[in-house]
């Protein structure tokens, strides 16, 4: 097999890999994992070398963007060594990280030096007590200091990610936008996805659509549709008179599957073809049974792409549709 790129049965070319480097996290966000989360044994987690081999195989098949995720990726020991290797790959147009921001205050400079080009930082509230309720950790000041440190380190277009929930933080939409505007940041508002069983809230009651969020913003600011794309599912608007772009990730109200260009690999080495489906290919077993066989790995990836579904089918009135938590998948 001599295919040099990844194309699914619907003609979508895969150019974007989201690579989870750990399932562990120093937060316990209510929509992402349970408070008493049981993490995978370390022997089941891909080594840094295995993670690089996965990335290398995808790069060889035409992937141009890699986003490092978790868990919280910055708690992975020796992560910088992996980032430096990826940062040296000229084929990559974009090497980014999604983080909760807790480690940025002391790591931002090293991340920039390693070749990371963009940062997404999760931030669901600017109120200390509410932030602590969302994350089960009282660390808002640490996260805000991390965002400032990332800007000082030279990161451009830092983007905030906010999961909006009715009666939990939907009254902070304007405050979050204006926090971003004051610092020249971008921000994306995300409709919660039904991944994993949660006990802190009823998803059908807390669901807040992107249309509602946009209306809240437009009550005070003019939004102009933007042609900006990052390779991910956000649809962007420019805040008039500002550098800030506002994105909306709308798996329920505005399905984004038609132009899906991405797949995920979990920290345990499972290739997840779609967030809304539990099907996965075990890359870890393949790599450990055939160490160093990069051709076999690439062939497995090309073959697996033929199973990528056309779309997910998330419904707002169902509590759980995919059993695994987001932290197990990679954000």
Going through 100-146 in order, the beta strands assigned E by DSSP cover: 118-122
Q: What are phi and psi of 328, to 5 degrees?
A: -85, -25
Distance CA 275, CA 99 (A): 19
178 located within any domain: yes
Q: What is the distance in angstroms between the CA of the first residue and the CA of the last residue of the chain?
A: 31
Domain ranges, residue 196: 6-329
Per-residue model confidence (pLDDT) at position 324? 41
91 located within any domain: yes
Per-residue model confidence (pLDDT) at position 202? 52
* Whether 28 contacts 56, CB under 8 Å: no
Within 8 A by CB and 6+ apart from 193, the residues are 251, 275, 276, 314, 326
Q: List, for the chain, all residue ranges whose pLDDT scores fall below the cut of 70.
A: 1-3, 29, 32, 34-35, 192-205, 230-233, 251-259, 275-278, 309-331
116 located within any domain: yes
Sign of the dihedral through C-alpha 24, 28, 29, 33: positive
77 located within any domain: yes
> How many folded domains does the chain comprise?
1
Pairing of strands 13-14, 159-163: unpaired
Q: Given its phi and psi angles, is residue 304 left (phi above 0), alpha (psi -120 to 50 degrees) or beta?
A: alpha
Domain with 293 in it: what CATH number? 3.20.20.70
228 located within any domain: yes
1 located within any domain: no
Per-residue model confidence (pLDDT) at position 169? 87
């Amino acid at each position: 097999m001599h295919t040099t790129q990844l194309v699914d049965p619907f003609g979508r070319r895969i150019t974007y890999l989201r690579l989870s480097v750990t399932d562990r996290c120093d937060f316990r966000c209510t929509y992402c994992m349970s408070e008493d989360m049981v993490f995978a044994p370390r022997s089941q987690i891909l080594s840094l070398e295995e993670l690089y081999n996965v990335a290398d195989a995808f790069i060889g098949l035409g992937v141009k963007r890699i986003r490092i995720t978790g868990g919280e990726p910055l708690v992975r020991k020796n992560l910088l060594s992996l980032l430096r290797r990826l940062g040296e790959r000229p084929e990559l147009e974009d090497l980014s990280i999604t983080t909760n921001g807790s480690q940025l205050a002391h790591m931002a400079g090293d991340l920039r030096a390693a070749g990371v080009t963009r940062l997404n930082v999760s931030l669901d509230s600017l109120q200390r007590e509410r932030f602590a309720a969302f994350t089960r950790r009282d660390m808002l000041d640490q996260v805000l200091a991390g965002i400032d440190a990332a800007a000082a380190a030279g990161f451009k277009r830092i983007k905030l990610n906010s999961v909006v929930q009715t009666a939990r933080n939907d009254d902070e939409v304007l405050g979050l936008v204006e926090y971003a505007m004051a610092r020249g940041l971008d921000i994306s508002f995300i409709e919660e996805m039904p991944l994993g069983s949660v006990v802190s809230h009823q998803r059908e009651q807390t669901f807040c659509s992107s249309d509602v969020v946009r209306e809240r913003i437009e009550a005070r600011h003019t939004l102009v549709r933007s042609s900006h794309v990052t390779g991910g599912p956000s649809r962007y608007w420019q805040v008039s008179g500002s550098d800030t772009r506002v994105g909306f990730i709308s798996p329920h109200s505005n399905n984004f599957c038609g132009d899906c260009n991405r797949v995920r690999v979990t920290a345990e080495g499972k290739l997840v073809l779609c967030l809304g489906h539990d099907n996965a290919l075990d890359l870890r077993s393949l790599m450990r049974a055939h160490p160093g066989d990069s051709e076999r790995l690439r062939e497995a990836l090309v073959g697996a792409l033929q199973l990528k579904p056309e779309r997910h089918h998330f419904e707002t009135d169902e509590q759980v549709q995919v059993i695994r938590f987001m932290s197990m998948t990679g954000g």
